[in-house]
Structure 1
Amino acid sequence: MQQVFRCLYRLGTFGFLAGDEVNRFGSLNAGLQDQQLALYWVQQYIHLFGGDPSRVTIGGESAGGGSVMLQSMAYGGSLGTQLFNNVFASSPYLPQQYDYRAFVPEQAYYAFAQAAGCLTGPYGNTNQSVFACLQAGDSATLINASASVSEEGVYGTWAFVPVTGPAGSFVQELPSQQLLQAKVNGKVVLSGNNANEGYPFVPKGVTTEDEAIAYLKLLFPFFSEDNLNTVLAAYKYDTGPNATLYATAGDSGDTANDISSVASGPHQQIAQIYSETTFVCPSYWLAEAFIASGGAGYKYQFSVPPATHGADVAAYFGNGYTSDFSQAFQTALGTLIIDNKPSFPSQVANGLSTSNTSFNPASDWPVFSMQSELMIDLNTTCTDFVTSAAGVPTCQGADNLNEIREVDAYSWEGGRGARCELWRSLYQVVPE
């Protein structure tokens, strides 16, 4: 019997306040520890619901996907399969992950304390620590202070996110570096990304190179001019801000550095940079790590236009896309849970309504490794579009046919694999 449990955990300052005082008097990454406590609960009680504690699959999307990734890295990957066997990480969110004592989290800590009145104001008290003052604060004050600090940050970023802790703590290393060492919990991972993850997170109206560069300098505050020039060279584009928009094929023609169904020119460039550094490359690194650890890693991209961040959720919950497409996506997730490998019969990949039973290579889902970076591209023919509430053309018409195929993830979109290697090499200035 398959059982589904949802995990609630603390967010903002309640779940991810960091700094030296938090480490000394409280708990770093408390939100992640909430999740792990829930996993221990599942191990203890799942048999009462007809479940098998040795066959647990954890999954999440966006921050949930990032949480799943960090659970698979917990305590240096030393937990093995104690808490789960399989991992599903959809668009795993990896913001820049600073050391808990670094300037950025310490600055956020004291900005939060200031907003909560623990440095000056009615709650300020020189006879107690800042942390003790925060502990004494009421929830409404702390919630408003947390929101206030986050609102002042760089567009597309949040002030309170996971941090790297000291030796022996829950999160001990940067994900890019720990995953390179294949130190993971669990045995099987299915990780994926959407084609245009970054679009919702970057400023709208960027039309010039100077505007793009100004944003990148804010997003990556420790970049040198050489770092910036290296990244800009890796994300060169050939389209202008007013180009006709369309979805790229991925393995031919223009690339996502140039254009997408939602942006072009310098706007698309910064969206692509945000997309790959924050969501896409982590999904690559995660799949590679599970293969290198002796387990199994599988990879996909959700490409149905506009394929912006979060657009895939409706597909695997069976809402808003053709039944053929949702059935294929749901079948892959179901077989991951039941058979420890994502797969679907050729007829399901082709679309049951088409009665096409010809062999589809995607039905034998390839493993994803550094030697053979193959993934499944989940797409449809997109002959029918509807316009979303945000005015974005969205491929959700009833006549769209499945276009699911096996592709080379390394050369995808003009060399995405090489760009992910570049981001991993920049870990000292872009801590991920």
Structure 2
Amino acid sequence: MFSQLRFLLPALLWPTILAAPAPRSAPTVTLDNGTFVGAVSGNVNKYLGIPFAKPPTGDLRFRLPVANDPYTGTLQATSFGTACPQQAFNFDIPVPGISDIVNEVINGFYDLITPNGEDCLTVNVWTPTNVAKGTKLPVAVWIFGGGFEIGAPELYDGGVIVDHSISMGSPVVYVSMNYRVSAFGFLASAEVKNAGVGNLGLQDQRQALRWVQKYISAFNGDPTKVTIWGESAGAISAALHLVANNGDNEGLFRGAFMESGSTIPVGDLTGGQNEYDAIVQKTGCSGSADTLECLRQAPYSTLKAAVDQSPALLGPTGLHLAYLPRADGIFLTDNPQRLVQNGKVANVPFVNGNNDDEGTLFTLALLNITTDSQVASYLTQNYLPKASASTINQFMQLYPSDITAGSPYSTGILNALTPQFKRLASVQGDLVFQAPRRFLLQQRSDKQPTWSYLSKRFKIAPILGSFHATDLLNVYTGGDMTDYIINFVNNLDPNGPTVTNWPKYTNANPQLLTFLDGLIPRTITKDNYRVDQMNFVTNLSLQFPI
């Protein structure tokens, strides 16, 4: 779920439908009895770092978010708020030909998420400048990705989206939010479940959506026209908001756009007990009668050091992450895929798509796995500890070691870092991204409007192909996917005059808008690849959620 590509590009000079604004003083907005002073950039006003909840510090650590007090006074809103605590991350894979580039880019983006700390629950708003007060524009609410372990909204320039929407004649308001990640937001155990404080990161997002309902009108946004939108962990979050509260979205959004993320196959909160126990031990809380309360009282530096020793993103556990949303019995009442099966889904239009080679990036840490027996052991120990040997054998037959069948797909004998790399990349991409997407669409496409896409761009990237997060290069630079997103936010339909027609996805005709490199940038294809494999993976996921 890694998506930390920094798209804070300089403001692009889009042609606009509005006259260039005359120089003026800093924009302001009044919320309650408080005045927030923002900044202006061309056709866009931005207000950054506005608290939407009380700081989750002290006794509020490991508790549900508490709404902000009414605002008073004059407050500056010209810089991003502090990022939430980031789990230690050190990506260093010796891959000939790409190691220097990948290591520098990924670690460099991580280093840009600074400063970080517990007082981090803020929102950011970008809105068109020359709009009459009281105008009600559709609202795009962005949820960042990062494997539920790292990430921050400062990596994404919402001004690019708003400026592009103005140039299209379909202006929108853009909102992004911080939410707690890693153990601070997704601590899981029997203790956490009994206390009713699971999935705090998702609860933060929900509280930010409540903030939007209360305050977005002051920014010329329409609270009845909110679309949640995210990539990777952000897309998974959006999908989980569809099934949270047994499908009751509380009127907080009317549509969802999900890039590389869906209703993932996760089990109960108690599945995170090992990581919880490890943190308890490392913070010296083992002897406490109430270990969760002890963790609340632990010095931040002590707790952070313990969390930093947890398995990290892009590590040897692959996409079996240390911290991720799980069924808590209250907000997520069951395995998300079971909720989908039982029809507990918010009845709103949605888009859900993938990149072709979702699993390659997360398989770079598995280069030590080179034999069939090692693959079988990895699948058993990491993903399917309760599956029988015959089930694992069938899994391996469906995903053979034939490098021409692996990911990056359609690259023949190329990109085979090891005899098992492309095989494992195929398994991980299907297990966490492709199969959950298809499952959600198959379950819901005949009940609500849905669209799906497949991005095969950047296929020539060495080793990785059309890897996870490359679709963001088609969004935060004003690419053609930006048009589709803005159309969807405005009309709950991605189609419009500037782009190729994108047919709805149905079980009778499961069509994908497919993004391509070359002279033909887009085409329509069928969602009929790896059918047996993904059906098998889905059935396994329902039996043995992560």
Question: Normalising by structure 2, what TM-score?
Answer: 0.62
1:270 aligns to 2:420 (yes or no): no
Q: Which is helix-richer, 1 or 2?
A: 1
Shift of 1:365: 1.4
Aligned-residue offset at 1:428: 4.9
Q: Is the 8 A contact 2:403 2:423 kept in 1?
A: no
Distance (Å, rounded) in 2 between the aligned partners of 1:419 and 1:375? 19
CA apart distance, 1:7: 1.4
- CA 1:418/1:55 → structure 2, altered by over 3 Å: closer, same or farther? farther
**Structure 1 residue 283, shift from structure 2 partner:** 2.0
TM-superposed CA distance for 1:403, in Å, is 2.9
Question: What is the CA deviation profile of residues 301-342 of structure 1, one whole-angstrom value per residue up to 9, with x for unaligned ones?
Answer: 111112111111121111xxxxxxx53211111111112111
Amino acid at match of 1:83: L
Work out whether 1:88 is the aligned partner of 2:257. yes
> Does 1:150 find its partner at 2:311?
yes
User: What's the CA shift string for 1:381-430, capped at 9, x where partnerless?
Assistant: 2xxxxxxxxxxxxxxxxxxx343111110x22xx2x44332222113543
- Matching of residue 196 in structure 1 with residue 357 in structure 2: yes
Contact 1:259 1:265 (8 Å CA) reproduced? no
Supply the distance in 2 between the matched residues of 1:308 and 1:379 (Cα, whole angstroms): 13
Q: How does 1:269-288 map to 2 (within 5 A)?
A: 269-288=423-442
Matched with 2:340 is: 179
- Aligned mate of 1:234, from 395, 398, 401: 398
- Which amino acid counterpart does residue 215 of structure 1 have in structure 2? Y
Quote the residue 1:213 is aligned against: 376
Deviation, structure 1 residue 188: 0.9
Partners of 1:20 and 1:214 in 2: CA distance: 28
Name the structure 1 match of 2:508. 371
Are the aligned partners of 1:301 and 1:375 in contact in 2 as well (CA < 8 Å)?
A: yes
The answer to whether the Cα contact below 8 Å between 1:165 and 1:171 also exists between their aligned partners in 2 is: yes
User: What is the aligned counterpart of 1:20 among 190, 193, 216?
Assistant: 190
1:263 is displaced (CA, Å) by 5.7
Which residue of the partner structure matches residue 34 of structure 1? 204
Please say if residues 90 and 193 of structure 1, whose CA atoms lie closer than 8 Å, have aligned partners that are also in contact.
yes
SS at match of 2:173: coil
Judged with a 3 Å threshold, the aligned counterparts in structure 2 of structure 1 residues 96 and 107 are, in CA distance, closer, same or farther, namely farther
Give how far 1:83 is off. 0.8
Q: Could you say which residue in structure 1 is the equivalent of 2:32? A: none
SS of the residue 1:56 aligns to: strand
- Is 1:327–2:479 an aligned residue pair? yes
1:115 CA displacement: 1.6
* Aligned counterparts of 1:300 and 1:33: Cα–Cα separation in 2: 28
Letter in 1 for 2:433: F
User: Could you tell me which of 471, 481, 494 is aligned with 1:312?
Assistant: 471
**SS of match in other structure, 2:175:** coil
Taking the aligned partners of 1:264 and 1:379, their CA distance within structure 2 comes to 27
Task: Quote the Cα distance in structure 2 between the aligned partners of 1:109 and 1:153.
Answer: 19
Q: 1:89 to 1:214 in 2, by over 3 A?
A: same
- 2:241 pairs with one of 38, 63, 71: 71
Aligned with residue 117 of structure 1, among 253, 268, 284: 284
- Identify the match of residue 100 of structure 1 among 238, 261, 269: 269
Q: Are the aligned partners of 1:197 and 1:309 in contact in 2 as well (CA < 8 Å)? A: yes
Compared with structure 1, are the counterparts of its residues 246 and 11 closer, same or farther at alpha carbon in structure 2 (3 Å cutoff)?
A: closer
Structure (1 or 2) with the greater strand fraction: 2
Kindly state the Cα deviation for residue 344 of structure 1 after the two structures are TM-superposed: 4.7
1:160 aligns with 2:323: yes
Moved more, 327-336 or 32-41: 327-336
- How far apart, in 2, do the equivalents of 1:140 and 1:186 lie? 43
Aligned-pair CA distance for 1:77: 0.5
Counterpart residue number, 2:455? 302
**Structure 1 residues 331, 279: CA separation in 2 closer, same or farther (over 3 Å shift)?**
same
For 1:48 and 1:262, the matched residues in 2 are separated by: 54
The 3 A distance-change label for structure 1 pair 291 and 85 is: same
Identity of aligned residues (%): 25
Runs of 5+ in structure 2 lacking a partner? Answer: 1-136, 138-171, 460-464
Distance 1:431 1:329 in 2: 32
Match of 1:339 among 483, 491, 509: 491
Offset of residue 265 of structure 1: 4.8
CA contact (8 A) 2:247 2:344 kept: yes
**Distance (whole Å) between structure 1 residues aligned to residue 212 and residue 233 of structure 2:** 21
The alpha-carbon distance between structure 1 residues 8 and 339, as it changes in their structure 2 partners (threshold 3 A), is same
- The amino acid that maps onto 1:172 is T
- Residue 99 of structure 1 and its aligned partner are, at CA, apart by 1.0
Measured on the aligned residues, the alpha-carbon RMSD in Å equals 2.6
Whether 1:141 and 2:302 are equivalent positions in the alignment is yes
* 3-state SS, counterpart of residue 257 of structure 2: strand
Shift in Å at residue 110 of structure 1? 0.9
Output the amino acid matched with 1:228: I
Does the aligned pair in 1 maintain the 2:196–2:328 contact within 8 Å?
A: no
Asked whether the equivalents of residues 452 and 511 of structure 2 are also in contact (C-alpha less than 8 Å), the reply is yes
Q: What is the DSSP-based 3-state SS (H/G/I as helix, E as strand, rest coil) of the residue aligned with 2:221?
A: coil
The answer as to whether partners of 2:224 and 2:254 remain within 8 angstroms in 1 is yes
Instruction: Provide closer, same or farther for how the CA distance between residues 205 and 259 of structure 1 changes in structure 2, counting only shifts above 3 A.
Output: farther
- Look up the SS of the partner of 1:159 in the other structure: coil
Deviations 1:156-185 (A, max 9, x none): 43212111122xx11112222222333212
Letter aligned with residue 299 of structure 1: S
Q: How far apart, CA to CA, are the structure 2 residues paired with 1:374 and 1:129?
A: 53
How far 1:40 moved relative to its partner? 0.9
Specify the SS of the correspondent of 2:516: strand
What TM-score do you get using the length of structure 1 for normalisation? 0.78
